[in-house]
Amino acid sequence: MIGLEGIAYGGDYNPEQWPREVWAADVRLMRQARVNLVSVGIFSWALLEPEPGRFDFDWLDEVLALLHGGGVRVDLATPTAAPPAWLFRADPSARPATREGHRHGGGTRQSFCPSSRSYAEAVTRITTALGHRYGRHPALALWHVHNEYGGVNAVCYCEACAQGFHRWLADRYGDLDGLNTAWGTTFWGQRYGDWAEISPPRAVPIPVNPAQELDYLRYANDVHRANYRRERDLLRELSPGVPITTNFMIANCREMDYWAWAGEVDVVANDHYLQAERRDNHIELAMAADLTRAVAGGRPWLLMEHSTSAINWQRRNIAKRPGELARNSLAHLARGADAIMFFQWRASMFGGEKFHSAMLPHGGTGTRIWREVADLGAVLSDLAELRGTTVSADVAIVWDWQSWWALELPWHPSADLNYRERIEAYYTALWRAGVQIDFARPESDLGRYRLVVVPSLYLTTPAAAANLRAYVEAGGTLVVSYFSGIVDATDTIHPGGHPGALRELLGCVVEEFLPLHAGERITLDGGLNADQWAEDLHPCGAEVVHRYLDGPAAGQPAITRHRVGRGTAWYVSTSLDAAGTGSILSAAGRDAGLGDPTTGLARPGSVEGVELVRRSGAGRDYLVAINHTDTTVRLPIAGHDLLADRPCTALDLPAGGVRVLRLPGPAASPR
Ligand code: GAL
C-alpha cells in the first residue's frame, strides 16, 4: 500500500529540534537500525511558515534530500495540529472554548477551534504549499495529515461551533419540528422555535438534554472529519498516487467515531500506548490492534506510533523491561500491522516530552533501548514476507462509538456502567482462551462469525437489532450483556419493556434495573460471581441457565438462552467476574461449535499467556507466538522459524520470547 518492500519501520522524526550537524548522523543510524520510513514535519508549521504567507522550506528540502540519499522513505505530515502563534495573535477566536466558556491559552499544540475560519484558511495555504513543493518528491511514500484529530480539542463550545451546529442540525432533521420530536423537547419545556436558540451543551448545573449531547458529539466528529477531508482532497490533487492517511487513536479516543472515519483514509494508521501500570496491558494492546484491523476492514494497517519504553504522560510511567519492546511490536504485527513505528526517533532534550522514550535515547547508541531497536529492525527485515497477509477470526465483539457516548451520558442507573470495561471483560476472557477476535459494527454483516458478543450496546438502532436477529436466525450464536438494546439513536427508550430493541430476540424482559452498592458482590448458581449490576429479569421464551442466589434479585433468572431460527441468543444480566465471563463464553462457544467440547473455548494444547496469532495470504500461513509467561513453553507446532531461518519440529518459546513460523502446507481457507 505504501510502496515499501517489507514491513515499514521507523518513527516520528523531528530534526528541527537538533542542529544540522546531527541530521547526517541520524540518517546513518537509521540505516544501522534498518529504519525505512520516518514521519516528518508533524509540528513544524511555525518553522515552515514563520509569517503568514512567507515560507521557509530550505531546511525541510535538506532533510528530505538526506533521507532520500540514505534510502529512508518519508511519511510527510501536514503540520496543522500545531498552528503558529501568529494565527492566534491575529484571531484570538481561533482558540477553542471549553464547556465553561473559557478560551484555551497558547504555548502548546492542538489548541485551535476546529470550526475557525482563519484556521481553515491558514490550513489550506500551508497544505497547498507543501503539496506543491513535495507532492512528487522521490522520498515521499505517504501523507500524514494533521496529528490525532480529536486528541485534545475534540469538542469546542464556541460561537462558531454553535453556528455550525445549527447548520448540521438543519441538515439532519430538516426542520425544527423534526428536531423537537427527535430531542423530546417537550421534556423540561425546551421546545425550540428558531435554530439560533439552540446552544452547544455548555456548562449547566444539571444535565443538558441527552439527545442534544449525543448530537453534539456526532457534529464534533463530523467537523474534524471535514477538516481532514479538506486537506486530503488538496493533497490528492497535488500529489497524485501517493496514499494519504491520518493517525487514529483507536480504542483509546472516545470522541472520534472511527467507523465513520474508516473510509476516509487510504490506509488505516493507529497510535497505541500501553496503560503502563497495568500488568495485563498486553491484552489491551491486542484488543486495540484487533479493533484497528476491524476499522481497516481486515486489511493490513500501520502502527504509526507506540513507545520503545516509558512514556511521559501517565501517573507512573513504567519503563518497558528487556524484550517487551519486541513483544509489543510483534503483537501489533501479528494482528495485522504492516508498519511498526514509534514516537519518536531521537529523544527530545527540551519541551514537554523530554522524558518520553525514543528509538535513540538520551544516552545514545550505548543503551539497551538502542540495541533492542536495532535488533527489532533486523527482525522485521526477516519478516518481510508477512507484509500484506491478513488475520481471520471466528468470533467478533460488537463495538460502537456512538453507543459508548450514549451509555456514559449522565443520570444513568449506575455510575459503574462503563462501556470499555465491559468490552475488555469479554475480550480478555476470549484472549485468555486463545481465541482470535475481530470487532464488528452493529450493522455490519456478521455471517462469517460463529460467535458474536455484544457488551452493553445501550444505543441499539432498529437496523442493528434486525441485523443481530438475522445473524441468530441464520444459525449464529449471540451473547448480549446487560444494558443493551435500551435506546435508539435519539436516546429515546425502545418501547414495550427493556431491552426493547432486543427483547424478542433474547426472549426475556427486564422489569427493573437493580444496580448494586459499591463493592457489593453477588453469587449465581453454578459457582458464578458478579458485582455492579443485577436485573429483575423475566423470560418470555428463553430458558433459564443460571439464577441469582442472593442480592436484590435472589432466586430470579440471571442468564438465559433463547433458540431463535437456527441459532441461539444468550443474555447475561449481570457483571460477571473473569471466571464467570469465561465460563459463559465457553458454554456459548459450545453452542457455536467452537473450541474443544470438554475445555470449552480454549483450543486443544493452548497455554494461557502464550499468544498465538495467524496471518495468512498468498498461499502461506504464518504463526506469531509470543510467550507472556515467565517460563519456557514447548508447543507441538512445526514450521520454518523465520528469525532463526531454520526448520523446527516443535516450537520452543523462552519466557518473554517471540517466534514467527512459516507453517507447512497450504493456507487454511479463512472461514
Ligand atoms: C501522541 C502524539 C505524539 C506524542 C506521543 C507521546 O499522542 O501523537 O506526538 O506526543 O503521543 O506519547
Distance 108 CA to ligand 1 centre (A): 13
Q: Give CA separation, 522 vs 76, 379, 547, 556, in Å.
A: 55, 49, 11, 13
The three cell numbers locating residue 591:
453452542
**Phi, psi of 469, rounded to the nearest 5 degrees:** -65, -45
The correct CATH number of 1-35+268-388 out of 1.10.760.10, 3.40.50.10860, 2.40.30.40, 3.20.20.80 is 3.20.20.80
Determine the residue type at 184: G
Distance 441 CA to ligand 1 centre (A): 27
Q: What is the pTM of this model?
A: 0.97
pLDDT over 70 at 63, yes or no: yes
Mean pLDDT of 383-400: 97
Instruction: Please report, for the chain, the start and end positions of each structural domain, with discontinuous segments joined by +.
Output: 1-35+268-388, 159-211, 395-592, 610-662
- pLDDT at site 670: 42
Query: How buried is residue 322: exposed, middle or buried, by Cβ count under 10 Å (0-12/13-18/19+)?
Result: exposed
Distance 300 CA to ligand 1 centre (A): 22
CB 157 within 8 A of CB 200: yes
Mean pLDDT of 392-407: 98
424 lines ligand 1 (CB under 6 A): no
147 lines ligand 1 (CB under 6 A): yes
Contacts of 140 (CB under 8 A, 6+ apart): 73, 74, 76, 134, 239, 242
Residue ID of nearest Cα to ligand 1 atom 12? 311
- pLDDT at site 5: 85
pLDDT over 70 at 667, yes or no: no
Angle 616-619-621 from CA coordinates, rounded to 5°: 35
- pLDDT at site 598: 64
pLDDT over 80 at 671, yes or no: no
26 lines ligand 1 (CB under 6 A): no
400 lines ligand 1 (CB under 6 A): no
Lowest mean pLDDT among 289-293, 431-435, 506-510: 431-435
273 lines ligand 1 (CB under 6 A): yes
The three cell numbers locating residue 8:
515499514
Rounded to whole angstroms, how far apart are CA atoms 557 and 483? 16
Query: How does DSSP assign 459-508, residue by residue?
Result: B--HHHHHHHHHHHHTT-EEEEESS-S-B-TTSPBPSSSBSTTTHHHHTE
Identical fold, 1-35+268-388 and 610-662: no
The three cell numbers locating residue 6:
517489507
431 lines ligand 1 (CB under 6 A): no
Active site residue 148: yes
Segment 610-646, tens digit of pLDDT: 999 999 999 999 999 999 999 999 999 999 999 999 9
Given the residues 148, 284, 372, 535, the one annotated as active site: 148
User: Which ligand 1 atom sits closest to the C-alpha of 311?
Assistant: 12
148 lines ligand 1 (CB under 6 A): yes
Mean pLDDT of 482-487: 98
Active site residue 511: no
Segment 563-585, tens digit of pLDDT: 999 999 999 999 999 999 999 99
Distance 329 CA to ligand 1 centre (A): 17
CB 317 within 8 A of CB 276: yes
Q: Give CA separation, 553 vs 267, 479, 509, 556, in Å.
A: 49, 21, 14, 6
What mean pLDDT value characterizes the chain?
A: 96
- Tell me the CATH architecture of domain 610-662: Sandwich (2.60)
Provide the percentage of residues in the chain whose pLDDT is more than 70. 98
Query: How does DSSP assign 209-253, residue by residue?
Result: -HHHHHHHHHHHHHHHHHHHHHHHHHHHHHSTT--EE-EE-TTT-
pLDDT over 70 at 597, yes or no: no
pLDDT over 80 at 602, yes or no: no
Segment 233-252, tens digit of pLDDT: 999 999 999 999 999 999 99
Distance 1 CA to ligand 1 centre (A): 24
**Given pLDDT bands bounded at 50, 70 and 90, which one contains residue 3?**
confident
Provide the percentage of residues in the chain whose pLDDT is more than 90. 96
304 lines ligand 1 (CB under 6 A): no
Segment 509-535, tens digit of pLDDT: 999 999 999 999 999 999 999 999 999
CATH homologous superfamily, domain 395-592: Class I glutamine amidotransferase (GATase) domain (3.40.50.880)
Given the residues 284, 305, 324, 424, the one annotated as active site: 305
Residue ID of nearest Cα to ligand 1 atom 11? 343
Mean pLDDT of 134-144: 98
Distance 343 CA to ligand 1 centre (A): 6
**3-class secondary structure, 565:** coil
Of the candidates 107, 60, 25, 51, the one whose C-alpha atom is nearest the C-alpha of residue 351 is 107
User: Which ligand 1 atom sits closest to the C-alpha of 151?
Assistant: 7
**Given pLDDT bands bounded at 50, 70 and 90, which one contains residue 483?**
very high
Distance 312 CA to ligand 1 centre (A): 10
- Pocket probe for ligand 1: among 17, 149, 271, the residue whose CB has the most ligand atoms within 8 Å is 271
Mean pLDDT of 273-302: 97
Of the candidates 184, 49, 221, the one whose C-alpha atom is nearest the C-alpha of residue 127 is 49
Mean pLDDT of 646-671: 85
pLDDT over 90 at 141, yes or no: yes
- Pocket probe for ligand 1: among 304, 343, 353, the residue whose CB has the most ligand atoms within 8 Å is 343
